[in-house]
């Protein structure tokens, strides 16, 4: 009878540990799901911000940007110092990114 009591006590301890482990795993899963949901919301916000910016570009800034882009292209082709050439090249690349 004493052996049965020892086994029962060990089973109770094992079940208690299993319950604690299950709760910890559930908490970790909930935390991961929360992080995943937050990341998903961040992606949606970034997409909306990009869409809003593109609308702004299309509605009022595209024409002036083309003028600036043309001027940068002219300045880029002129005989300028290496530092200025690097700056103009960077500005042209960034303008291309903004216009696309």
Give the tens place of pLDDT for each residue, 79-92.
778 888 888 888 88
R_g (Cα) of the chain, nearest Å = 31
Helix pair 62-77, 82-99: axis angle to 10 deg: 150
DSSP state of 8: H
| Nearest residue to 66 via CA among 53, 55, 57 | 57
pLDDT-above-70 percentage for the chain: 97
Quick one: tokens of 83? 């530092």
pTM: 0.45
**13-26: per-residue pLDDT in tens?**
999 999 999 999 99
């Amino acid at each position: 009878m004493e052996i049965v009591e020892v086994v029962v006590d060990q089973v109770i301890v094992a079940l208690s540990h299993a319950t604690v482990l299950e709760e910890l795993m559930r908490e970790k899963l909930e935390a991961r799901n929360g992080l995943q949901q937050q990341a998903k919301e961040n992606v949606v916000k970034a997409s909306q911000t990009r869409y809003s910016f593109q609308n702004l570009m299309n509605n009022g800034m595209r024409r002036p940007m083309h003028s600036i882009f043309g001027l940068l292209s002219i300045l880029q082709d002129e005989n300028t110092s290496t530092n200025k050439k690097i700056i103009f090249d960077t500005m042209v690349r960034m303008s291309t990114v903004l216009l696309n």
